[in-house]
Structure 1
Amino acid sequence: MIYTVTFNPAIDYVVRLNAPLQAGAVNRAAGEDCVLGGKGINVSGVLAQLGCPSVALGFVAGETGAWLERGLAAQGLQTDFLHLPSGMTRINVKIKAEQETELNGAGPAIPPEAMAALYKKLEALQKGDILVLAGSIPASLPADTYERILARLQGHGVRTVVDASGPLLARVLPYGPFLIKPNHHELAELAGCPLPDDDAITRAARQLQSQGAHNVLVSMAGDGALLLDEAGTVHRIGVPQGKVINSVGAGDSMLAGFVAGYLQSGSYAQALRLGTACGSATAFSLGLATREEIERLLEQL
């Protein structure tokens, strides 16, 4: 089974304006949507489109948390969230106008006893399960939370996938994650130098591999992606043609496609191909990738 973790899920209230946003005045919306998300939840959503069941773990609180749970269930996603005793699952306001403006909620504090309950759930994972950890850590949790999770899972045979940046990613490398997915900017930050071409990116990826990562998937936006697999083989792929509408969730979609592609084929080349199609399908859409759009783009790769 695949498990995803979203520490701070959100309901995104997306408001569209036909005119520039006027500060200090009444602005009337031309349209609005509510999108349920968070990086781990996005991964679970795209996995469902690909026919791969998963369980979304994490924390919810208050009436907004109950709303998020009901909404995900209506989408056919399986969840096993922990319910926090106080606070509320955050609402993020996304204003789409001449310029985009975002107001992101803080979300509820996660007390130590809630984290202990999550650790207990994670320690019940079985050999062969996949655990996806994506995104940043809420301020109420220790900065080494990902490291603590991987340390607890050592020896369990669980394959871990980590999409994070900076020290958060660097700390998990000694625990041998199955897959890490930095983008090229994050990889350059870890390398401490510019990465002007594929050779430089490959060298930086090999450095992370030497520190413990099995597979390193580097996303490069419109320039495609590069994968250094656990056998040391470098795979390079471009992107299909299309207009980028919204890049939010594209990296999560690539991660979901890669995991599903590898489980279905056992081939890293096929995993990279499906991951690229999924990431592009989300980037070319208003929401997350649909199976129909993924299959259409696969034909171009």
Structure 2
Amino acid sequence: MIYTITLNPAIDRLLFLEDTLIKGKNNRLQEITYDLGGKGHHGSYAMSQLEIKNQALGFCGTTNKGKLEKILTEKGINHDLVDVYGKSTRESYVILETGVSGSILITEKGFRVTNYDKESLNEQIERKVNATDIVLIAGSLPLGYELRDLAELLSQLKKIGCFIACDLSGEALKKAVELEVNFIKPNRFEIQELISSKNNLLDNLKELAKKVEYIIVSQGSEGSICSHAGDFYQVTTPKVAAVNDTGAGDCFVGSFLSGLSLGKPLTECLSFASACAASKVQHNDSTTFSVKEARILQKKVTVKKL
């Protein structure tokens, strides 16, 4: 079983403009739709599309719980969320301009969690997670959730003995490395912050690999570099027309962990996850990708051992 933990969930409100965004002008909307926000939820969607058994855990505000659960259900995501009473799950605003590649993302800070909320989540994890499971913790930390709380959660998971994957940033990423989780997905700038701005990327990776089993360094349209078991791989992705890149990295992580859970070779996990992400950016919402299209795109992905 794979569990995803989204500590700071969101509902994505997709704003489709009739034209390009111009400051000072009345920018008219063509359409408004809703999708999942929160990196862990995006990862769960990818796993569900690939028919990998998973469950989404984390927090959920009670005042708009119905809206979030409706989207989760429509997306076919098994979930069991901890209620944060009297609070609303935040919304993220994704602005998509006609004829313009990519998107503009604006996010709310979200609710504040209490000690009761944190204890409820930890107790739930203790009941559910086993040593043979994979746990993905992804996204930002909500207000009231401190680094010491993250350290407690990671220590709890390490005690259980499961595979721990973290798609975090900033101080949360540093804490994950300090506690030697199994998987991280930083970008090249975060690698410098973690090790040294004076070293080249490969030297930083070699140093970081002493603590983390799987490291995938995101390089956007240039692909990624993976480190595992003393080996390094350059992954080059196919060129596609990007419509909305929101959620592409999360799609990669969910697809990659799905492959690992099935015991597939690392090179296959990397190539297929890259293809899934390439499919994702061609769709206008935050989660959608085509498994069939990814199988075709996978043939255009190259994985070269460095």
Deviations 1:238-269 (A, max 9, x none): 00121122221111111111111122234211
TM-score (norm 1): 0.90
Which residue pairs with 1:255 in the alignment?
253
Q: Does 1:122 align with 2:121?
A: no
Aligned residues: 295
Q: Does 1:159 align with 2:163?
A: yes
Which residue pairs with 1:79 in the alignment?
79
Amino acid at match of 1:228: S
Whole-angstrom distance in 2 between the partners of 1:83 and 1:253? 26
Contact 2:12 2:94 in 1 (8 A): yes
Deviations 1:174-202 (A, max 9, x none): 4331111111122122233166xxxx322
Which residue pairs with 2:59 in the alignment?
59
Deviations 1:16-68 (A, max 9, x none): 22245576776531122111221000000011111112100111113422211
Whole-angstrom distance in 1 between the partners of 2:191 and 2:173? 10
Whole-angstrom distance in 2 between the partners of 1:272 and 1:130? 17
Whole-angstrom distance in 2 between the partners of 1:101 and 1:203? 34
Q: Does 1:113 align with 2:152?
A: no
Which residue pairs with 1:140 in the alignment?
144
Which residue pairs with 1:234 in the alignment?
232
Q: 1:267 to 1:60 in 2, by over 3 A?
A: same
Whole-angstrom distance in 2 between the partners of 1:274 and 1:65? 34
Which residue pairs with 2:47 in the alignment?
47
Structure of greater relative contact order (alpha carbons < 8 Å, 6+ residues apart):
2
Which residue pairs with 2:35 in the alignment?
35
Q: Which moved more, 1:247-256 or 1:162-171?
A: 162-171
Whole-angstrom distance in 1 between the partners of 2:205 and 2:130? 29
Contact 1:2 1:130 in 2 (8 A): yes
Contact 2:110 2:143 in 1 (8 A): no
Whole-angstrom distance in 1 between the partners of 2:282 and 2:104? 20
Q: 1:222 to 1:24 in 2, by over 3 A?
A: closer
Per the TM alignment, residue 275 of structure 1 is displaced from its structure 2 partner at its CA by 1.6
Question: Any stretches of 5+ residues in structure 2 without a counterpart?
Answer: 302-306
Q: Which moved more, 1:91-100 or 1:175-184?
A: 91-100
Deviations 1:82-120 (A, max 9, x none): 111111111223333478654422322111101001011
Amino acid at match of 2:279: A
Amino acid at match of 1:139: L
Q: Does 1:93 align with 2:93?
A: yes
Whole-angstrom distance in 2 between the partners of 1:90 and 1:204? 36
Whole-angstrom distance in 1 between the partners of 2:20 and 2:177? 45
Amino acid at match of 2:50: L
Q: Which moved more, 1:31-40 or 1:137-146?
A: 137-146
Q: Which moved more, 1:159-168 or 1:146-155?
A: 146-155
Q: 1:292 to 1:63 in 2, by over 3 A?
A: farther
Per the TM alignment, residue 166 of structure 1 is displaced from its structure 2 partner at its CA by 2.7
Contact 1:133 1:146 in 2 (8 A): no
Whole-angstrom distance in 1 between the partners of 2:202 and 2:22? 46
Whole-angstrom distance in 2 between the partners of 1:21 and 1:202? 40
Whole-angstrom distance in 1 between the partners of 2:262 and 2:184? 19
How large is the RMSD of aligned CA atoms in angstroms?
2.1
Q: Residue 44 of structure 1: SS of its match in structure 2?
A: helix
Question: Any stretches of 5+ residues in structure 1 without a counterpart?
Answer: none
TM-score (norm 2): 0.89
Whole-angstrom distance in 2 between the partners of 1:101 and 1:221? 16
Which residue pairs with 2:269 in the alignment?
271
Q: Residue 64 of structure 2: SS of its match in structure 1?
A: helix
Amino acid at match of 1:179: F
Whole-angstrom distance in 1 between the partners of 2:240 and 2:70? 33
Which residue pairs with 1:214 in the alignment?
213
Q: Residue 177 of structure 1: SS of its match in structure 2?
A: coil
Whole-angstrom distance in 1 between the partners of 2:49 and 2:223? 22
Amino acid at match of 1:38: G
Whole-angstrom distance in 2 between the partners of 1:222 and 1:67? 33
Contact 1:92 1:104 in 2 (8 A): yes
Q: 1:248 to 1:94 in 2, by over 3 A?
A: closer
Whole-angstrom distance in 2 between the partners of 1:65 and 1:119? 20
Among all aligned residue pairs of Structure 1 and Structure 2, give the percentage whose two residues are the same amino acid. Answer: 26
Whole-angstrom distance in 1 between the partners of 2:130 and 2:215? 24
Whole-angstrom distance in 1 between the partners of 2:60 and 2:164? 23
Whole-angstrom distance in 2 between the partners of 1:56 and 1:246? 24
